[in-house]
Structure 1
Amino acid sequence: MNVRRLIPAAALAGAVALGATTLTACAGAGAAGGGADGKLDVMASFYPLQFLAERIGKDHVKVATLTKPGVEPHDLEITPKQTGLLGEADVVLYLKSLQPAVDKAVAQSGVKNVVDAATLTPLEVHGTSGHDHGADADHPEEGHGDEHGHSHGEAAEDPHVWLDPVKYAEVAKGVGAALEKADPGHAADYRKNTEELVARLTALNTEFEDGLKNTATRTFITTHAAFGYLAERYGLDQEGISGVDPESEPSPARMKDLQAVAKKENVSTVFFETLASDKTAKSLASDTGLKTDVLDPLEGITDKSQGADYFEVMRSNLKNLQKALGTK
């Protein structure tokens, strides 16, 4: 079972109230922006925040994203033009620490209405393994970070909160509050849309709880260790081949450990994702006689995604987990 360690973060109540942001309301009851269409211009750093803005803002917002479909978010590079567009947005939504280039661009843009999703729900520590979240004497290399500032086992905050529907709902509430603050004239609509979205996420959580209640094994192996929150929520053990950055290379010792875990825990499947290479997953699967399948971290939607939006892909993830874990 995963060991949960909470990281001190801004209190949720204060975050939802946006005490940690610099949001300011515009004069009057209309949208904060000066767009010709009268819509609130929202810039989201990547898909999960884009999805929230679109679902909560609906017809009152115009949403753009810095991370185009098919681009691996962790490796995103920001152009000067994109930095300029950031400064023109009425509201910027990003998740600090997930994309270092975005963190830097936001700091340089001078934009005032910024919402850091990492302040809207408490972050936790999740290493590459559901059984051991820290480096040990036998494999000290697993405690090292990578060039993106991510950790492969050391005490670092895991940013992948959107893969837990409960925590994603908390972020949704904060985004809704941000839009209300920036565009008070449509506050009632944003509030209603937020409540509807949170209700759907609550229902999705129930689907996962019921669907993963009885399984033959509780352990799954994935290339990208992005599913710590999901595993914690539903009593599963995530064994990540790499760390929270999908491009990091596992050590030979880590691969050997995973072969032992697969045998001991009756693991049937090695999961890979659509936006990163499946080479390592297929190598491990070949060495251990396991199958491969997709577990999508939902950092972007492409024509290869197993669904057209967050809810569809999450339900595909659930079905793939049920198959791999041996739902009874």
Structure 2
Amino acid sequence: MNFFKNSAILRAFLLAVTFVAVSCGGGNDPQPGGDFEIYLDFWNTTGRNPEIRFDEINTSREIKIDFSKTFEGRAEGSSFTTVEIDNFRIIDQNQNNYNIENITAYELRDGAWKKDIEFTMDFTQSEDISVVLVLDRSESLGEDFSTIKQYANDFIDKVFDDRSVVQMGVVDFADDVRSHPLTTNREDLKTYVNGLTQGKFTTLYDAVDLGIDMLQDSDSQSKVLFVFTDGSDNNSSPNVNVDYLLNRIKSNKDYTISSFAIGLDGDGGVDQSILTKLSGNGGSASFPKTIAQAKGVFEKFSKVISNVYSLEYLRNQQVIPRNTPAKLKFEIQTIR
């Protein structure tokens, strides 16, 4: 009896080990992803002015999108409407990002979710991207600053390697704010980063403000602000604060910026609430404790930033009142 029981345990153990080995994979092979769900309301008050609002409560928490925004669409000919959803990413709590393989549409009808084959959600990966790296060079980084510069250069290489059309600029800050304009020349950027020198104070907000200006002037399909700091602002202009910056990032309909942040929190000088608040429109923030941990976050964010999707929902021109919207669900199948 014990022999058979032990054999069963051994077989279960070997099966578990085999499953883990297969799941973990190796090399650059795609890794198993997961299924995620987005829920949204759809209305079309005239038949030619479709709008969408995401349901943040029921949508998978890994979905990164501006949940406060209403996405407006347009009529296509005499029969269809489309709504485009930009800056769409799927990022888990460990800053891993996911690649979309397929999206299945459902609509709530008579209290049940019915698979929809007539109205669909298509997706495309954005190739044209502009990134501004906002880089802390204050004295508080000490000897770690040379390591941060190397991480920044690795980040530059990764983004340029992953996307065919890239513009990138750098805004660096300490007691003053300096910059390198958006360029397609990665070597110029890396040379600029290598030449950075440290200074006193932390002029974070003014630096972010300049980064927004640079992205505002870009005509790229996707725009990303990526901030690294190990401290809190103590030197910016009085009229430039976190609420002012957040308003600039989120409220302007002429340009949409996703913002990401790394706060090196080894000495506890980073205000996590501020950086989390500044990470908007599908962005996120991470707070490594050591310089070694920061390396992994730079690497993950380089993938996350360059992996952004645009979604397009296609539907007919049926009139749907705003106060009784259509309830929609989309199941997203992914790989990592």
- TM range, normalised to the smaller chain? under 0.3
The structure in which a higher percent of residues are strand is 2
Larger relative contact order, structure 1 or 2 (CA cutoff 8 Å, min sep 6): 2
The structure in which a higher percent of residues are helix is 1
TM-score, structure 2 length as denominator?
0.25
TM-score, structure 1 length as denominator?
0.26
